[in-house]
Chain A
Amino acid sequence: MITMENVCKSYKVAKRNAGFKAACKAFFHREYEIINALSDVSFTINDGEMVGYIGPNGAGKSSTIKILSGILTPDSGTVLVDGRIPYQDRINHVSNIGVVFGQRSQLWWDVPVIDSFELLRDIYSIPGNLYKNNVEELTELLGLQELLRSPARQLSLGQRMRCEIAASLIHSPKILFLDEPTIGLDAVSKIAVREFIKKQNELHGTTVILTTHDMQDIEALSKRIILVGKGKILLDGSLEEIKKGNANIDETVAELYRSFEI
């Protein structure tokens, strides 16, 4: 179970105008602006749930994922994931979660993917049998047979993303965080990734928290959505509740964004 209560997080961002002169000025006197990435965010997610976490760019989605995965420390508020405080008990916490950053590779760039998997086996101390079973299962479900022996840098984006997802699940985590997993993928890969995530949830009861701008992802995967804007939770409910009749999901969400002025 994941709970966040009254979580706040702010960043100090340096600002300056364009141009060399402004850069020189900023070198001596820097103007900062405090950005409230999260203000007073609270929610609870139960085991086995699939939740779509949506909002416009800069709404605080990634900050939430980073706090939940123990990368960032919140300014205030309490965070509990399976009874642990992620940023305090980092090592125990992260051995039970899997994280995919759509924008950032976790594979070793120059070596075949299978070498990365083997290193992950040692990092997570996965017992030999479990590792073998997991690799077999993931290879089959994600169609990795041909990819495992190529270096990550020579894979296409879609192929690499499939390997990234496999890498994040190799230690059978109970919770999976996906930060824009379908960004830049073609239709075939997108569908493959969605199908896989769905199956993972059904087979193993993995809790999935997914941030995305692709509303089809949400429609295909999650019953529950949490909408954030300007660091606040604006809406927490089921997809059906929001959708008016047979309106297109993209239009529905655009309408939502407009109504909240975010």
Chain B
Amino acid sequence: MAANIAERVHYPLDSSSYKIIDEIGAGNSAVVYKALCIPINSTPVAIKSIDLDRSRPDLDDVRREAKTLSLLSHPNILKAHCSFTVGRRLWVVMPFMAGGSLQSIITHSFQNGLTEACIAIVLKDTLNALSYLHGQGHLHRDIKAGNILVDSNGSVKLADFGVSASIYESNNSSGGGSVACSASSSSSNSTSSFMFTDFAGTPYWMAPEVIHSHNGYSFKADIWSFGITALELAHGRPPLSHLPPSKSMMLNITKRFRFSDFDKYSKGHGGSNKFSKAFKDMVASCLNQDPTKRPSSEKLLKHPFFKNCKSSDFLVKNVLLGLPSVEKRYNESKVVDPNSKGSDDDDEDPGMQGNVKQRRISGWNFNEDGLKLEPVFPKDHCRDDVVKQVRFEEEKVIKEHDVVASGTVMEPKPNTSSDVVDHDESLVVEKVGSNIGGRVVNNREAMLGTLNVLKGSLEQELGQVKFLMNLIGGEEIHVADSEEQMVQEISKLRTELEVERKKNLQLELQLENIKLHLSSAVNSPKS
């Protein structure tokens, strides 16, 4: 009854009805506030204020996020009370979750991770949310502790649908919103009805097939991120986050000498025996390299690890008790280290702001005994041979990249099978040769050039893409075992070509129009 009435409450649609108390999170183009809704008994709310002028040119993503939030209804999903514009900002009014995000909780009080009993409660509720979402045809695409919130009564809710996507809408433009999300850029449209190919999420948590997203990915990508989140809750941080979140991070970890750091880290945190067999097994199933072998959220809920799961009261007593308020934690984190992970309801590492990240991971191997995720680098691995470079802030990339390129990364290394490519599009896929025959892609200069030219004129682009296709076709002779990848590569390039052709046609039409005017100008005498 009470819940029914609460649902009917209409939150006011003007900013003057809300009194902002404190900032509790911030990201690239959004700030999250704690506020009171004055007309409704000064109910506390969280307001996510998104700068619309800074978001992508078309507002479709923002619309989709707002719609998703309005139409989802599940006890473990943080929904929006309402949303409205205030000048150039969009205000999304949501219930205030007094405990804040799990990420903020572990950063503040549980730096070595939560106990398994607590993890089970959090993860079970998260799975309930995921199961609902997937049943609705939605992918969350950004599952991580920073997006799992707790209320003062211990109830757990999954938040932030800034990059979520729906299989029912995937035919509209390219998915992948970037409203207030840390990392998102999209390239091609989805290839099949239930698959996505655009790149969205936050790198640490990202499934291998999302990183190699041109092959397509689906619901199981969320399951991977869910597994990483389990590790995050258990260890107090996601795997590999001991490496500095700087622009060179992923470039660095692909280098061999960095491996020692990782070993040190692994040894330093060696207490893996504290985890139960059930937990390790559950995480391992989520972190299977093969998406089809990962369990569905529905199936995962039946895993022994979630049996005898304690109630939310347990969470209140063991995690929330004595914890400073969300706003206090947020402000403290800002004072201690402006670059530390202080973000809360919002999902961004402040360290990410203004930084370009270039990350390359060819794969992850989960070490079940140690409950650790270990990186696989292109060099050491034969199967994962497509590497992607992502960039996060468009304008700065070229400059920053030049610095990187002239530095250590581009050193000619005979066996380095991958390379960094700069490109006008926000996402670049690069073909990397297989190591089986010890072969190196010796055409990489040409490839680099080709991909660079893509940002040139459209006519040139058409020619160059054809050239690139030939190039890849030619490579097949040398690198037989990656034929499949190449076929996929080619089909992806074909799609891109098609898109470019369409753009070209449009531009030609425009040009013709202008020409028409020009020619009539020539004919008419000028005064």
* A is bound by B: no
What is B's interface to A at a CB cutoff of 8 Å?
A: none
What is A's interface to B at a CB cutoff of 8 Å?
A: none
